[in-house]
Amino acid sequence: MTNPVLAFVFPGQGSQQIGMLAEAAAAFPEINATFSEASSVLGYDLWDLCQNGSQEDINLTERTQPLLLTASVALYRAWLSQGGARPALMAGHSLGEWSALVCAGVLAFEDAVRLVRERGRLMQEAVPPGEGAMAAVIGLDDQAVENACADAAQGAIVAAVNYNSPGQVVIAGSSAAVERAIEACKAAGAKRAMPLPVSAPFHTELMRPAADRLAPQIEATTFLAPQTPVIHNVHAKTESDPSAIKSLMVEQIYSPVRWTACVEAMAAAGIGQLVECGPGKVLAGLAKRIDRNLVAHNIETPAQLSEAVKSTAQ
């Protein structure tokens, strides 16, 4: 059963926490089974890492990416096992777009685990530690942020990379240029502009070497037409052609995440309810800022999942 007004959204880096999904794993066998599948691909115990490791361990990009992918896919499988309605649309924020593609039937989970581990490793290697930075800018419109970045660049790279919601934009680039852009945003009237605790300037041109290195591996992987349409970060539209989806997933690494436009596209398509399929509630919060008519659900705990299944049943 598909609910025509329901969409699923999948979180990206930043939503990981030690101990996440412990309650869900006790209630739904799909959680442990999915983590076991991922562990066999990765060669280490992913569940043990996210329950008993350190926050520092799970914040390493090449670990964070397979971890969040696995958590999201596990929750989606649990959702379906509990009789949850299939969504009419999907989207994922940055890394979360890979979770969306797996749940939409575009590629096998094991292939996605391999690819996102490589994606994380290559993105981390693209810029040496300390040379890149990201910062969140609150309370400034998109154009003002873009202008501040243009003024601050001075021959280096700094750009708006995550359009998360109106008045919330993330910038990234080389460290010194980001520092200059933070000051420029404050001078332009931003309520806040603050560095983020991330290790690389994601979604900038500085990531193009990572994209170039990952492209042949994406090309060699089997992609199918999506069973559920996925709205892509790069252009906030759906795509049905597998080869075009491959190109978008390469481009996505060095292109801005147009999240506001993705959620607006869902609302325009008649979506009234969103389920955030993964740990945390970042995307549910952003959805309400983008369109206050959207009803957002989280399903990280058994109680939340059960309530959301009932609320979204037709």
The reply to whether 93 belongs to the active site is no
Residues 23, 39 share a domain: yes
Cα–Cα dist 102/309, whole Å = 21
Q: What DSSP character marks residue 85? A: P
CATH number at residue 56: 3.40.366.10
Contacts of 171 (CB under 8 A, 6+ apart): 134, 135, 137, 145, 149, 158, 159, 160, 161, 178, 181, 182, 185
Asked whether residue 291 falls in the same domain as residue 221, the answer is yes
pLDDT given at position 59: 85
Contact 241, 144 (CB under 8 A): no
Residue 207 predicted with pLDDT over 80: yes
Both tokens of residue 110?
């094991």
Is the pLDDT confidence value at 56 over 90?
A: no
Q: Looking at 198, 223, 242, which one is the last position of a domain?
A: 198
Cα–Cα distance for residue pair 116/173, rounded to 1 Å:
22
Residues 14 and 59 in one domain: yes
Give me the residue label for tokens 């999907």.
90
As a whole number, mean pLDDT of residues 267-286 equals 96
Q: How far apart are CA 123 and CA 61, in angstroms?
A: 8
**Cα gap 194→179, rounded to integer Å:** 9
Tell which of 152, 180, 198 closes a domain: 198
- Per cent of the chain over pLDDT 90 is 91
Mean pLDDT of 263-291: 96
The confidence score (pLDDT) of residue 209 equals 96
From the list 93, 203, 232, 297, the catalytic residue is 203
Other Cβ atoms within 10 Å of 206 Cβ, number:
23
Q: What is the CA radius of gyration of the chain?
A: 19
pLDDT, mean of residues 246-269: 98
User: Are residues 91 and 210 located together in one domain of the fold?
Assistant: yes
The whole domain housing 150 covers: 132-198
Residue 120 sits in the same domain as residue 137: no
Helices 96-103 & 109-126 angle (0-180, nearest 10): 170
Pair (145, 103) in one structural domain: no
More confident residue, 128 or 227: 227
Question: At 60, is the pLDDT very low, low, confident or very high (cuts 50, 70, 90)?
Answer: confident
Does residue 198 register a pLDDT over 80?
no
* pLDDT tens figures, 114-166: 999 999 999 989 998 889 999 999 999 999 999 999 999 999 999 999 999 99
Banded pLDDT at 290 (limits 50, 70, 90): very high
Q: pLDDT band for position 9 (50/70/90)?
A: very high
Residue type, 2: T
Q: Does the pLDDT value for residue 236 go beyond 80?
A: yes
Cβ proximity of 99 and 72 under 8 Å: yes
CA separation for the pair 173, 201 (Å, rounded): 5
Look at residues 200, 265, 270 and name the one whose alpha carbon lies nearest to residue 233: 265
Pairing between β-strand 86-92 and β-strand 168-174 as defined by DSSP bridges? unpaired
Is the predicted pLDDT of residue 200 greater than 90, yes or no? no
pTM: 0.96
Distance CA 212, CA 218 (A): 10
Residue 203 annotated as catalytic: yes
> Tens of pLDDT along 153-193?
999 999 999 999 999 999 999 999 999 999 999 999 999 99
Helices marked H in 205-241 — which ranges?
A: 208-219
- Catalytic residue (choose from 15, 39, 72, 94): 94
* Position with higher pLDDT, 56 vs 75: 75
- Encoded amino acid at 244, one letter: A
Which pLDDT belongs to residue 2?
A: 85
Look at the block and give the residue holding tokens 């575009």: 106
The verdict on 99 and 227 lying in the same domain is yes
Q: What is the pLDDT of residues 17-54, one digit of tens each?
A: 999 999 999 999 999 999 999 999 999 999 999 999 99
In sequence order, what are the residues at sequence separation of 6 or more whose Cβ sits closer than 8 angstroms to the Cβ of residue 271? 5, 6, 7, 88, 89, 294
Q: Same domain for 40 and 151?
A: no
Regarding whether 305 and 180 lie in a shared domain, the answer is no
> DSSP E strands: which ranges in 166-283?
168-174, 192-195, 230-231, 273-276
The two most distant CA atoms of the chain are separated, in Å, by 55
DSSP H or E run through 181: helix 175-187
- Regarding whether 281 and 210 lie in a shared domain, the answer is yes
pLDDT per residue as tens digits for the range 260-275: 999 999 999 999 999 9
**pLDDT of 218:** 98
